[in-house]
Amino acid sequence: MERDSSFSAETADVLSDDALTGVTVIVCASCRDETGSDAHPRAGELLADDTRRAASGEDIRIRSVECLGNCRRRLSAAILRDGCWSYVFGDLSATSGADLVTGAKLFATSTDGLIPWRGRPDSLKRGLVARIPPLDMLKDQI
């Protein structure tokens, strides 16, 4: 696999449907806002809805889950792609959907299976919680 992810952010605007098909954004629907309110809809549900709106017309899968276990970092989401690193982000806002879609587009165009730093929205730079390698990259240790 080629290891060069240097390309301009404009590349994300000319994606093939095949490239985006493999990307999934998972949003934690149970996340609360900064006040910790139990009000419904929860801030995480609002983020999931905002992400779906931002992805409208794109071939990006948007899924929500009950909990990503990242409660200290408030609103959280993950971006996944088969055979590539997976990313978990926190400290998002209910209106970060467009940033998640931009991150998904950057991920789809990546040639090395990583989301490039250049062109990544600030919320995805500041909010990075973890980058998890694909299982086939792990080496068994005895």
Dihedral class, residue 18 (left if φ above 0, else alpha if ψ from -120 to 50, else beta) = alpha
Please say if the pLDDT value at position 9 is more than 50: no
Give me 100's structure tokens.
């998640």
Q: How do residues 34-45 score in pLDDT, each as one tens digit?
A: 888 888 999 999
What angle is formed at CA 5 by the lines to CA 11 and CA 61, rounded to 5 degrees?
60
Triad 40, 97, 101: Cα angle to 5°: 150
Separation CA 126–CA 121 (nearest Å): 9
Evaluate if residue 89 carries a pLDDT over 90: yes
3-state DSSP assignment of residue 83: coil
> What domains lie within the chain, and their CATH numbers?
9-133 (3.40.30.10)
